[in-house]
Chain A
Amino acid sequence: MVLTKADTKIDMMAHLMRRAGFGASREELESRSLLGYEETVEELLAPSLQDPVDRYQFLRYYPMWWKPGTMGGLGQAEWVWTMISTKAPLQEKMCLFYHNIFATGVAKVDHYDEIQDMIDMFRDKGLGKYKEILMEVAKSPAMIYWLDNNENHADSVNENWGRELLELFTMGVGNYTETDVRECSRAFTGWTLEHKLPRFHMGRWDWEFKFIPEDHDYTDKEFLGHTGNFDGEEIIDIILSKPATAQFIARHLYSFFVADEPQVPAWSVTPPNDPKAVNFLAEALMASDYHMGTVLQKLFTSDFFKEQRFSRVKNPTEVVISTLRLVGGTDRPSPETLDWTGQIAYMGQDLLNPPSVEGWHNGIEWINSGTLMKRTNFVSELISDTERPGVRNIIDRIKLAGSIPKDVIDACLDIMGPMDVSDQTRRELIDHSEKQGDFDWNSDGEERLIEVLQLLVATREYQFA
């Protein structure tokens, strides 16, 4: 890709907001630039400074949506609504980050509220210490049920949770043995949930974590070179003391916030694209006792982050949420929230229902002819809705560039990003407009501009964040 201009403050702010949030309008980028880059990072890392999204607003409008656990799909809509409305976008981005690591799905759990509780926990603790997240996840009834730890007994070990804790949540393949999986699983015997009760007429009963001492294996375990009567927390402490764990979490951070990496199953056999950056993040994790906020501050202010503009393929949630935040008109909950939630799923990311505990495959694997079509159609439809205040704003700003096609296209690229596009794409957009002459803002100019915007959001370049 060709950089069409030198990096400016607005470019950098737009980059930060795409990665640490869901993009931002030009107004927001301009006011944040006045505040400053590092100051914006600090603000993003302090979500408690912002008013939280009023969840009861959603329920006041749609009281029949109460207890979404009873009804398929609505549990997702509440989260989607929160992402659209939040003033603390990094907090929601972290929920998405953890949801893709601790991927837990309603296809098996069959209880949206319980998975939603996990998301709430990520929102609450996501910028804190990774150990705390791991402990909460280990005691999450949704996770216990998802990975069958309720079937992990002192006298019959079920390895599902123990294996994924090592393979997907902390260390990655190649850093432990089959014996470690077994011993790790034994340490979590007796960590279970209160039994699922039958459907209730107004929703389901909540699940609760429960430790059953008589179902716990209290004999010695030999785990990663340590021997002792470890319980789950001590196992997690041992895991976190290993450099492999810091490397693994660092690579997750890099892949989610900096630039696309190969898929997780390839990590044991493929080195990181930027080993120095991953090492830097791993060291920051170890030095801060895995304090995620501290590490993210270092990440967002690093050169390796700033150099990776448009090097990640947007995931479907980013496509939908960033478009909605851009076009606006979403100040009140509406039934459309449910449609938008469905759109994210059609693009391949059914929130609260990942395809497996591995989560979704990221990067270019989001793209196939079907999902590219969905992305293009969704964004194109919204960007052509001139009733939306964000679209109005974009049009009014672009009009200031005058009526010459080349100037109008450059204004589009600037206001819609600023976006970097190839010379070929820019030339095609200009050519498309020149065919019909200068833009006449008193006649069909606006309609023609919408056509250009629809083409612009259909480009390859628009798929990147």
Chain B
Amino acid sequence: MTDSKKDPVIVVMQLSGGNDYMNTVVPHSNSQYRDYRPNVNIPEDEVLHLNNDIGFHPSMAPLAEMYREGNVAIIHGVGYENSPRSHFRSMDIWHTCEPETLGTEGWLGRAVRQIDPDKKNVVTAVSMGPSLFRALVAPGVPVATVENLDNYGLLTDISPEEKRDRVLDRYKRIYSPMIGSGPVMDFLGQTGLDALKGADILNIAPEQYSSTVEYGDNSISKKLRSIAQIHLADLGTRVFYCDLGSFDTHADQLATHDKLWTAASGAIRDFFDDLEEHNAADNVTMFLFSEFGRRVYDNGAGTDHGAGGVCLAIGNQVKGGEYGQYPSMKESDLDQGDLVPDLDFRGVYTTLVEDWMKLDPVPIVGGQFEKPTFI
């Protein structure tokens, strides 16, 4: 059993839909920014300046504060070659680390397999549902998918307890491995057993929890609060996954982007405050990514699918600051109107896997990549 008070824990927040890099980390001193973005730009006096070159979106004040405290790493120009600009394909690539062929295993699924090869703990990875993210999927790797932590359990309507125990005992036998039944039935069998075990374990998390932090009333706040509850219950969970969206701002970008980042920034601040209150923040690193950045030129009201994007790593053990270079915005340096990423996302994963999680990155990210040193 691992110890969640000491072992490194990663919380991944997926910004689904393609987060606009240029309006998240605004290159305010670059005059081209406003030339490319006559309609969808952040006015200079609203940018939250981090230094002479860049600043955060105005809704990211809590993150700007954390940046100044030295706990936020901005990783510039992340992506991969020949970005397909399709949400689904691109998300698949980020999830599986397979830009050339179609991958079926997720990078975090492989990481969980390395952390817990004997599947001793079914809650090593917890995904805040309803659906299971492909990043966490790997054959035989249990992942608890939780939508509502307060009501989590199997056949909870059967009473009295004695009868429910009898039924659940039989359930366990019915779900035990069947010989020659094929991968789908095997998967279902394992999932049923994991559900049974995971529920018993996770049920104690909300019961044990108390905190003075009041999270906001939005979905990402609820997810991060549940993650905090599980982390604080010390159940050995090492990988948490949640998502926020949709960042697919082809239109009405200014209002949508503002709403999303307001929710995300507040929730992240509350989450870390909560962990600090319980003296449990030091072994947690949060990682934010999106499947691609958006096109350099605005389209009047929004921005279309682009290529290079930005990642953020947040936590007490993160070496705050900027990593890599903001990609050149010179017309001649753009690829089909997009920023060209010069840092492979698998390199960023390598830092997280090797320097933070202390795992062997090569089999997880599928090779060796240049890694930024933000841990």
Residues of A participating in the B interface, judged by any CB pair closer than 8 Å = 1, 107-108, 147-148, 150-151, 153, 156, 158-160, 163, 167, 173, 178, 264-266, 269-270, 313, 345-348, 350, 355-358, 361, 364-365, 367-374, 376-377, 380-381, 384, 422, 424-425, 428-429, 432, 451, 454-455, 458-460, 463
Chain B residues near A178 (CB-CB < 8 A): 336
Q: Are A148 and B129 in contact (CB under 8 A)?
A: no
Q: Are A370 and B147 in contact (CB under 8 A)?
A: yes
Complex: A369 Cα to B143 Cα, angstroms: 7
Q: Which residues of A contact B17 (CB under 8 A)?
A: 356
> Are B131 and A458 in touch, CB under 8 angstroms?
no
Q: How far is the CA of A374 from the CA of B145 in the complex (A)?
A: 11
Tell me the nearest residue of chain B to A436, going by C-beta.
B166
Which 4 A/B pairs are nearest by Cβ-Cβ distance?
A370-B145, A369-B195, A148-B250, A368-B132
Report whether B88 and A356 are in contact in the complex, using a CB–CB cutoff of 8 Å.
Answer: yes
Evaluate contact between B170 and A428: CB separation under 8 angstroms: yes
Chain A residues contacting B181 (CB-CB under 8 Å) are 1, 422
Q: Which residues of chain A are within 8 angstroms of B299 by Cβ–Cβ distance?
A: 151, 156, 158
CA distance A150 to B302 in the complex (A): 12
B residues sitting closer than 8 Å to A (CB atoms) are 16-17, 86-89, 92, 101-102, 122, 127, 129-132, 142-148, 152-158, 163, 167, 170-171, 173-175, 178, 181, 184-185, 187-189, 191-192, 194-195, 198-199, 245-246, 248, 250-251, 299-302, 304-305, 336
**In the complex, A284→B5 CA distance in Å?**
62
Interface residue from A107, A367, A424 paired with B191 (Cβ < 8 Å):
A367
Cβ–Cβ < 8 Å partners of B198 in chain A? 369
Q: Contact at B300–A153, with CB atoms within 8 Å?
A: yes
On whether the beta carbons of A377 and B156 are closer than 8 Å, the reply is yes
Smallest CB gap from B153: residue in A: A373
Other than the given A107-B245, A160-B250, A428-B174, 8 more pairs (CB < 8 A) read A148-B302, A346-B147, A367-B191, A370-B132, A372-B195, A422-B185, A451-B158, A458-B155
Query: Could you list 30 examples of A-B contacts with CB < 8 Å?
Result: A1-B185, A151-B250, A158-B304, A163-B86, A269-B101, A348-B131, A364-B187, A364-B188, A365-B132, A367-B188, A367-B191, A369-B142, A369-B144, A369-B145, A369-B195, A370-B145, A371-B145, A372-B192, A376-B155, A377-B154, A377-B155, A377-B156, A451-B158, A451-B167, A454-B158, A458-B154, A458-B171, A459-B174, A460-B192, A463-B188
Q: How far is the CB of B16 from chain A (nearest CB, A)?
A: 8
User: Which residues of B sit under 8 angstroms from A346, Cβ to Cβ?
Assistant: 130, 147-148
Residues in A with CB closer than 8 Å to B195 are 369-370, 372-373
The answer to whether B155 touches A460, judged by C-beta atoms less than 8 angstroms apart, is no
Summarize B's interface: helix, strand, loop or mixed: loop
Which residue of the partner chain A has the closest CB to B128? A370
Q: Shortest beta-carbon distance, A103 to chain B, in Å? A: 11
Chain A residue, CB-CB nearest to B179: A424
- List chain A residues, Cβ under 8 A from B187: 364, 367
Q: Which residues of A have CB within 8 Å of B301?
A: 151
Q: Which residues of A contact B92 (CB under 8 A)?
A: 265
Question: Closest Cβ of chain A: how far from B336's Cβ, in Å?
Answer: 8
Q: Is the CB of A425 within 8 A of B174?
A: yes
Chain B residues near A270: list those with CB within 8 A. 102
CB-based nearest A residue for B195: A369
Is B154's CB under 8 angstroms from A370's CB?
no
Q: State in angstroms the CA–CA spacing of A345 and B194 once bound together.
A: 22
For the complex, give the distance between the alpha carbons of A108 and B87 in Å.
Answer: 16
Decide if A348 touches B129 in the complex (CB within 8 Å): yes
Cα separation A370 to B250 with both chains bound (whole Å): 33
CA separation between A306 and B171, bound complex, in Å?
Answer: 31
Given known A-B contacts A159-B304, A265-B88, A358-B88, A368 and B191 have beta carbons under 8 A apart: yes
CA distance A95 to B272 in the complex (A): 45
A428 pairs with B188, CB closer than 8 A? no
Q: Which of A107, A371, A380 contacts B157 (CB 8 A)?
A: A380
Complexed CA–CA distance, A455 and B300 (Å): 57
In the complex, which residues of chain B have a beta carbon less than 8 angstroms from the beta carbon of A347?
A: 130
In the complex, are the beta carbons of A373 and B185 less than 8 A apart? no
Q: Given A371-B130, A380-B158, are A151 and B300 also a contact pair (CB < 8 Å)?
A: yes
Are B154 and A376 touching (Cβ within 8 A)? Answer: yes
Provide the bound-state CA to CA distance between A385 and B143, in Å: 32
Residue of B with least CB distance to A181: B85
- Does B178 contact A422, Cβ atoms closer than 8 Å? yes
Q: Which residues of B contact A348 (CB under 8 A)?
A: 129-131
Which residue of B has the minimal Cβ distance to A270?
B102
- Closest chain B CB from A351 CB (angstroms): 13
B130 touches A345 (CB 8 A): yes
Chain A residues whose C-beta falls within 8 Å of the C-beta of B87 in the assembled complex: 356-358
Question: Which residues in A have their C-beta under 8 angstroms from that of B129?
Answer: 348, 368, 370-371
Q: Which B residues lie within 8 Å of A361 (CB)?
A: 131
A432 to B198, CA, bound (A): 24
- Contact partners of A173 in chain B: CB under 8 A: 86, 89
Q: Is the CB of B185 within 8 A of A428?
A: no
B185: which A residues are within 8 A, CB to CB? 1, 422, 460
> A148–B302 Cα gap in the complex (Å)?
10
Given A265-B88, A368-B191, A372-B195, are A158 and B250 neighbors across the interface (CB < 8 Å)?
yes
B86 and A167 contacting across the interface, CB-CB below 8 Å? yes
Q: How far is the CA of A364 from the CA of B302 in the complex (A)?
A: 36
Using A153-B300, A368-B129, A373-B152 as known contacts, say yes or no to A108 and B246 having CB atoms under 8 A apart: yes
Q: B318 to chain A: closest CB distance in Å? A: 30
Distance to closest chain A CB from B259 (angstroms): 12
| Chain A minimum-CB-distance residue to B133 | A368
* A345 neighbours in B (Cβ, 8 Å): 130
Nearest Cβ distance between residue A145 and chain B, in whole angstroms? 8
Say whether, besides A356-B88, A451-B167, A369 and B302 are in contact (CB < 8 Å): no
CB neighbours (8 Å) of B251 from chain A are: 148, 150-151, 158
A455 CB contacts on chain B under 8 angstroms: 167, 170-171, 174
| B227 vs chain A, min Cβ distance (A) | 15
Residue of chain B at shortest CB distance from A366: B131
In the assembly, what is the distance between CA of A345 and CA of B16, in Å? Answer: 19
Beyond A348-B131, A458-B155, whether A373 also contacts B188 by CB under 8 A is: no
Which of A266, A377, A384 is the most central at the interface, judged by chain B CB atoms within 10 Å of its CB? A377
Closest to B171 in A: A458
Q: How far is the CB of A304 from chain B (nearest CB, A)?
A: 19
Taking CB as reference atom, which chain A residue is nearest B101?
A269
Q: Judging by beta carbons under 8 Å apart, are B304 and A160 in contact? A: yes
Q: How far is the CA of A429 from the CA of B131 in the complex (A)?
A: 31
Contacting pair B174 A364 (CB below 8 A): no
For residue A237, give the distance in angstroms from its CB to the closest CB of chain B: 25
Chain A residues lying within 8 Å of B89, measured Cβ to Cβ, are 173, 265
Kindly report which residue of chain A lies nearest to residue B198, judged by CB atoms.
A369
Q: Once the chains are docked, how many angstroms separate the CA of A345 from the CA of B122?
A: 24
A355 to B132, CA, bound (A): 12
Smallest Cβ-Cβ distance to A161: which chain B residue: B250
Contacts of A150 in B (CB 8 A): 251
CB contacts (< 8 Å) of A160 on chain B: these are 250, 304
Nearest chain A CB to B247 CB, angstrom units: 11
Residue of B nearest to A421 (CB): B174
Are A428 and B154 touching (Cβ within 8 A)?
no
Which residue from chain B places its CB closest to the CB of A357 in the assembled complex? B87
- Cα A376 to Cα B187 with chains together (Å): 16
Give the docked Cα–Cα distance between A346 and B184 (Å). 22
Q: Which residues of the partner chain A approach B86 to less than 8 Å between Cβ atoms?
A: 163, 167, 173, 265
Contacts of A422 in B (CB 8 A): 178, 181, 185
Complex Cα distance A346/B152, Å? 12
Which A residues lie within 8 Å of B171 (CB)?
455, 458
